[in-house]
Amino acid sequence: MSSENLQLIGDFLRRKRESLSPEVMGLPKPPRTRTPGLRREDVAAIAGISTVWYSKIERGKAGGISHEALTALSKALRLSPSEKQYLKTLATQEDDVAKQPCMNITSESQRLLTKLNPLPALLINDYFDIIETNQSFNRMCGLDINALPEEERNYIYLTITNPTWQRFLQVSDDKDLAAQLTRMAGFLRSVTASRPNDLTLKARVSRFKELSEVFSYFWNRNTVQQPEQLHSTFAHAELGLITLNKQIWWNFNGDISGRLNIYHSVNEEDYKRLESVI
């Protein structure tokens, strides 16, 4: 395991420990403490490992962390499935070069996107750059994504900066924006587990943190979340509110990493509505 991954594991565990109160864990609150959340000795005791060893793990100084220890710490810190996967990926990631993120669309993928109309669809990479969208997606969000400058064609950048995109996501106030950016920070954090030495990814994160204090806050809290296939309601630019079921197709072919997000109508009536604007 690389030293950087050890550091990421330690930082992640520390943030999780600090976010859990003793009362929630059924422990008495210490009368005096400068440490937010649980103490290291609390976590070590719950996980059944020594405080010295756990302290080394948090400092990123513990090589050869066993699967059993990580499992015990995951239970002790009540990690979500996404957080457990993040920790597992960090712990098992070797120094092999990760697949390169998709940066350009092939003619085959372009044809597929076109054929998917009237279902909105987009091709996106590990950096959340939007490589290409089909006509139905552009009509839905009210933006010609493919015509935007390259540096603006990013899902997170648009969520932070673009009022039209925010309207499409039904972001109407700071609370809505915080909810979206919590998810975005969590998605991007999960990517870092498999791409810990990716300088482009680090540059993207730095840019988003500079653009948004909210994103920076949730990033620094080590929020972790995996992309989900779920029902979401969007403010369609021409049809009004519409609920769609997002389906994710991952690319496992060759050395390129990317995914295709397809938004399916949940009933025949909404499918016909989507057809009407294409």
CB 261 within 8 Å of CB 270: no
Residue 95 or residue 11, greater confidence? 11
pLDDT of residue 95: 47
How many C-beta atoms surround the C-beta of residue 126 within 10 A? 24
Which string of b and e fits 217-241 if b means at least 16 CB within 10 Å?
ebbebbbbbebeeeeeebbbbeeee
| Burial class for 123, CB neighbours closer than 10 Å (0-12, 13-18, 19+) | buried
Report pLDDT for 241: 96
Q: What is the mean pLDDT of residues 120-146?
A: 96
Nearest to 171 by CA among 189, 152, 184: 184
- Which top CATH class is 3-92? mainly alpha
Instruction: Check if the beta carbon of residue 244 is closer than 8 Å to that of residue 120.
Output: yes
Does the pLDDT of residue 121 top 90, yes or no? yes
Q: Where are the domains of the chain?
A: 3-92, 101-275
In degrees rounded to 5, what are phi and psi of residue 103? -120, -15
Among 84-93, 121-130, 182-191, name the one with the lowest average pLDDT.
84-93
User: Whose structure tokens read 């015509």?
Assistant: 147
Place 58 in a pLDDT band, splitting at 50, 70 and 90. confident
Q: Helices (H), strands (E): how many in the chain? A: 13, 7
Architecture of 101-275 per CATH? Answer: 2-Layer Sandwich (3.30)
Would you put residue 48 in left (φ > 0), alpha (ψ -120 to 50) or beta?
left
